[in-house]
Each structure stands twice: as C-alpha cells, then as structure tokens.
Structure 1
Amino acid sequence: MTDNRDEQPRVIAVSRDDVHRFSKPVVDEVTLVAGWGIEGDAHAGTTVQHRSRVARDPSQPNLRQVHLFHAEVFDEVAEAGFRVEPGQMGENVTTRGVDLLGLPTGTLLHLGDEACVRVTGLRNPCQQINGFEPGLLREVLGRDEDGSVVRKGGVMSVVVTGGAVRTGDRIRVELPVGEQQALQPV
C-alpha cells in the first residue's frame, strides 16, 4: 500500500563529491548554481569535467552538470541480486516517481522551491559500474525486444535556475514546447 506522498515525484536523496570518484556521498542538501552545476561537486563547470571528455576536448560545453538517477532502477536491479543505494551510481539527485529515461531532450525539472535543470541527454553506463559491483553493467545496459540499446544510467542536465535541493523536495516536470526529441547519450 502506498500513500499519496509516494505518488508525487520526489527527490529521495542528494549527493556531491569534490573529487572524481564513481560513487558520491549522500548529503542533506546541495546548492545548484545556474550554468555551473552543483556547488562543491567535481563535475561542476561550464566546460566538460568528466575526465574522459576532458582528454578528448576540454573546451566542450558541460552538458553533464547534474546527474539524475531514478530509484526505480534500484528496485529492478535488486531483483537480480544487486543492492544499490542513492549516490552509489555517481548521481547527484536520486528521484522517485519520474520516468527520467522517457523524458524528451530539453525537459525542465523543477526541484524543490527554486532550482530547475534542463535535461540534456542520457548517461551512457560504462565499465566503472562493474568496478563498483561486478555484473551490474548488464543490468543497466541492455537491449529491448527490437534490439535497440537500453541505457538505464539516468539522465544528465544543466542548471537553468539555482537553488537548494533537499531530500523530500517535490519534482515538477515541464515538457518542452514543439517537437519532442528522444534522449541520446551525452
């Protein structure tokens, strides 16, 4: 049995880390900064901060300022014997009640009372996931019945409006106007 609170899309955890590690520690609150990312997080900045992308071209715009991951995947992988908790997949914001992977590019996610991010694309799950938990990559990267790749590594976004985001904050989804584009890896 679920109560109405569980049906409302919510932030169930926030995480940040000032160094580049796979998992991020859960904290009480994060501060989003417009055009920058999460204050105090190693992936914040106007240009790419992910080491593999910096090596290719450090002048690329940072389309991966804030990583959001839906806790429903934790439920799915638990059925396969994996225990994953907020922050462990490297996400900054863990959500429940929003089909992040089904959102179109450009969707605005209003987090709490102030903050807003624009979804830029999918996180492409990588081998680091198997370093965290051997075999987990096959659970978050697979193929559908048509043979298309299915990526369950969450979505990436940029900060449109800054503000504090906390566990329990509501999430409001604002779909883009006009033709909607399916998310692609960024």
Structure 2
Amino acid sequence: MARVEAVCISDRKGVVKKAVSQVELRTQWGIESDAHAGKWHRQVSLLAGESIDQVKEILPELEQGAFAENIITRGLDLAALPLGSRLRIGATAELEITQIGKECHNIGCAIKRATGDCIMPREGIFARVVTGGTVTAGDEIVRLS
C-alpha cells in the first residue's frame, strides 16, 4: 500500500521545507501556507522516500523537506506515473500530475548546498490540486488513473 511518509511546507521558494503534522490542500491552489501555492501547474511537489533514502546513505542527517518537497511518498513508483495521472490522498484530496522533474533554479541552490545533490530536477513530481482535503503522514495514496 502506498502512503504519505511526511508533509512539508515553507514560506519561501528555493529553500528546504519543514515537516508539519498535516497540510490543507485547497482546490486549484495548492497547500495552504506554502510558498508554491498559486494558480499554476506546480502547486504541490512529491518525492519518493525511497529516493531520499539513497541520498541519506551519504548524508544520514538529512531531514524531511530537505529537497523542498511537499509530500514524501512511500511504496509508490512516482517515476512510472505519466503526466495526467491522478492520485487520491487520504479521504478526499486528489492531485493530477502535471510535470515530471524540473530545471534547477540556480546552480548551487540552497537545497544542493544543504544536501550535496538536488534530486528534485530528476525525480520530483509536480501536481495541481483537483480536489482539496487534509493530508497527514500515514494517509493512503491510491492511483486513480
């Protein structure tokens, strides 16, 4: 079963995010109180916990949110999800995958300096919020399409 390992937010773009107990996803907006929320296609970022584990072998002190990810997943092959895929998280939240990977903002960004690597450009998945809802660590993730 795929699940949410952690949820993270920040009030600025381009910095590490902080793990929080829960987030509120707002339809067509993103995560309340997160710098990436807005009317665009990258409202929420997801990163597989399995990808983070590989970096933690080198840097075990990494904390959740180190790659500026909003939702850390476990047991879901994010790399296999095509654009347009839909995920239900928890009871009501629904995301649509809009982008796979991204161009790094800046050579030597804060994330790369903190972690030694920025895996989001290669392994990050981005989504828009189709249906809002509360998301917490431990919530089930179901692929709808």
Q: So what's the TM-score if we normalise by structure 1?
A: 0.70
Q: Does 2:131 align with 1:131?
A: no
Give the aligned partner of residue 12 of structure 2: 19
Give the aligned partner of residue 48 of structure 2: 70
Greater relative contact order, per chain length (Cα 8 Å cut-off, separation 6+)? 2
Give the aligned partner of residue 25 of structure 2: 32
Of Structure 1 and Structure 2, the greater strand share is in 2
Cα distance in 1, alignment partners of residues 63 and 85 from structure 2: 25
Cα distance in 2, alignment partners of residues 78 and 27 from structure 1: 20
Cα distance in 1, alignment partners of residues 67 and 112 from structure 2: 11
Give the aligned partner of residue 174 of structure 1: 144
SS at match of 1:76: helix
Give the AA of the match of 1:124: K
Q: Which has the larger radius of gyration?
A: 1
Q: Does 2:59 align with 1:82?
A: yes
Q: So what's the TM-score if we normalise by structure 2?
A: 0.88
Correspondence list, 1:100-111, <5 A:
100-111=78-89
Q: Give the CA deviation at 1:18.
A: 2.1
Give the AA of the match of 2:24: T
Correspondence list, 1:136-151, <5 A:
136-137=117-118, 140=119, 151=122
Q: Give the CA deviation at 1:121.
A: 1.2
User: RMSD of the TM alignment (CA)?
Assistant: 1.8
1:143-164 Cα distance to aligned partner (Å, 9 max, x none): xxxxxxx922x10000000000
Give the aligned partner of residue 51 of structure 1: none
Q: Give the CA deviation at 1:133.
A: 2.4
Q: Give the CA deviation at 1:91.
A: 0.7
Runs of 4 or more off by more than 4 Å in structure 1? none
Unpaired segments ≥5 residues, structure 2: none
